[in-house]
Amino acid sequence: MQHVTRKLSTPDGYSLYVEEWIPEPPVRFLVAILHGNAEHAGRYERLAGVWGQMGGRSVVFDQRGQGWSSGTKGHVEGFEQYSGDLRHVLSDMASRLPADQQPNALPWFVFGHSAGALTTLLYLIDHTNEVELHGALLSVPLLGLAMKVPPIKLILGKLAAYAMPKLALPSNIPASAVSRDPDEVARYVEDARSVRVVTAAWFASMNRAIARVEGEIHRIESPLLWYAGTNDQVADPTRHRPVFDKLRDPERNDQVLRILDGYYHEPHNEPENERQKIHDMLCEWIETHLPKVTSARSV
């Protein structure tokens, strides 16, 4: 599988570090990946490899202020900037790819994890008709923090969001909460590319994005595979069902929520036997959403 990297300039002047994993032809589908907070595009090489084995092309980028992309570390003025960057990356991909890989010819999907899944939901609310998608895979959308923030810190954070919006504070994601696999925990600890701070404005933006999703999720009609673990110590696992239930008609729109018993914050990075179940689930869902003509062509 070919691995290529490049930098992409956004309309408002940021430089996004983009990575692609391209399988041997024929390409059967494309997945745009949105990473979570305190991580980066490179952490999705294994998942891209899984999709590559079934003919999937993956594109993932370090979000502004994260990894090797430009911007104040851990800062965003609104999660709509993140969803706008996704829109820009998808449009850029459409301008680069040959006719048989365009979204009107090949199934395109979005996979978002944690804060990336929250951004994906915003994208589906605001931009769903701009680049044709066959569906979205939502890995533990960040709809609230499992780590409860003391009230005084919340008050100070709200004040800082107005007075000192770029004030950076540690994100305080414990490495042990990421996965039950000690090798994955060690990899997370040693990863120098990850940004481990968030600004006051980022935290306020997260809360506004959650409120928007809760109030507007009924507008989403795209097929969804939404899943989360019961032992998530980062994103509040109790928030998934109440928000999912605000979708207008999940059965008619092919939207499903799967609760994973015992899984931590990164189901795709759990111990090998457990993450294999996640890989199988993701691949099966994508396979069932590929047009028959695409599946037939790959045989």
pLDDT at 234 over 90: yes
pLDDT in tens, 72-101: 999 999 999 999 999 999 999 999 999 999
Most confident of 33-42, 129-138, 155-164, 167-176: 33-42
pLDDT in tens, 158-190: 666 777 888 898 888 899 999 999 999 999 999
Secondary-structure breakdown of the chain: helix, strand, coil percentages, each rounded to the nearest 5: 40, 20, 40
Domain spans of the chain, in order of start: 2-298
Lowest mean pLDDT across 32-36, 48-52, 140-144, 293-297:
293-297
Residue 54 above 70 pLDDT? yes
For the chain, the distance separating the N- and C-terminal CA atoms, rounded to the nearest angstrom, is 19
> Which CATH code, of 3.40.630.10, 3.40.50.1820, 1.10.4160.10, 3.20.20.70, is assigned to 2-298?
3.40.50.1820
> Given this model, what pLDDT does residue 153 score?
56
Q: Which sign does the torsion angle of CA 287, 225, 206, 195 carry?
A: negative
The pLDDT tens digits for 190-223 are 999 999 999 999 999 999 999 999 999 999 999 9
Give the span between the Cα atoms of 165 and 162, in whole angstroms: 6
Q: How confident is the model at residue 297 (pLDDT cuts 50, 70, 90)?
A: very low
Instruction: Give pLDDT, residue 296.
Output: 35
This prediction's pTM: 0.94
Give the number of C-alpha atoms closer than 13 A to the C-alpha of residue 151, restricted to the C-beta side: 0
How high is the pLDDT of residue 129? 83
Compute the distance between CA of residue 194 and CA of residue 5 in angstroms, rounded to an integer: 18
Does the pLDDT value for residue 265 go beyond 70?
A: yes
Mean pLDDT, residues 29-58 taken together:
98
Strand, coil or helix: what is 127? coil
Q: How far is 21 from 1, CA to CA, in rounded Å?
A: 6
Q: Report whether pLDDT(253) > 50.
A: yes
Confidence of residue 156 (pLDDT cuts 50, 70, 90): low
CA distance 204 to 161: 6
DSSP labels for 183-247?
Answer: HHHHHHHH-TTS--EEEHHHHHHHHHHHHHHHHHGGG--S-EEEEEETT-SSB-GGGHHHHHTTS
pLDDT above 70 (res 155): no
User: If you average pLDDT over residues 280-295, what whole number do you get?
Assistant: 85
pLDDT at residue 128, rounded to an integer: 85
Residue written as token pair 């999940």: 250
Under the banding of pLDDT at 50, 70 and 90, the label for residue 152 is low
209 and 119 Cβ atoms separated by less than 8 Å = yes
Q: How far apart are CA 283 and CA 258, in angstroms?
A: 15
